[in-house]
Amino acid sequence: MKKIAILILSLFLSNGINTFGAIKYKGPDETEETKIKISIDGEPNLHPRSVVPQPSITAELFADQLAFYFDDPVGEVVVTVTNSCGQVVSACTCNTDFEPMTILIVPTDPDFYRIELEGAGFKGYGEYSRN
């Protein structure tokens, strides 16, 4: 009977230690803002009454990866990331008709970074910084 009580007690204690450890641990991404706001500018020569759908683009930062999600296919898009000195640190061209998501490898150095997206009829901008 004592063995069963000790076994049950040890199971409860080990589960409590694991739960407490999981709650206390904070990963590296909890301190950083992972969502990046992308502002879209339309074609300046369009008439105000024309209906041109603006693309919906979401950007998320995970450690050294910057992921872009294109909710609507908008054709070929050029994505460029520059640092605070204006140097291109990462760039790619993707066709959103075939790939609705693209991932760029970006530096993890502390700096201020600017994102530029350019497609047919639109330009998008975003910014993020690393501490």
Per DSSP bridges, beta strands 57-62 and 65-70 are antiparallel
Cα angle for residues 8, 24, 33 (degrees, 5° grid): 145
Q: Is 11 inside a domain boundary?
A: no
CATH number assigned to the domain comprising residue 88: 2.60.40.3080
Total domains present in the chain: 1
Q: Is 109 inside a domain boundary?
A: yes
- Note down the domain range covering 63: 29-129
DSSP lists the bridge partners of residue 59 as: 36, 68
Distance between CA 64 and CA 57 in Å, rounded? 19
Q: Which residue has the higher pLDDT, 7 or 24?
A: 7
Q: Is 1 inside a domain boundary?
A: no
Give pLDDT tens digits for 37-77: 888 875 544 444 445 567 789 999 998 999 999 988 889 99
Give pLDDT tens digits for 114-125: 999 999 888 999
Residues 6+ apart with CB under 8 A from 30: none
Per DSSP bridges, beta strands 88-95 and 76-82 are antiparallel
Q: Which amino acid is at 26?
A: K
Q: pTM for the whole thing?
A: 0.67
Q: Is 65 inside a domain boundary?
A: yes
Q: Is 86 inside a domain boundary?
A: yes
Q: Is 8 inside a domain boundary?
A: no
Q: Is 121 inside a domain boundary?
A: yes
Q: Is 93 inside a domain boundary?
A: yes
Residues 6+ apart with CB under 8 A from 102: 67, 68, 70, 79, 92, 94
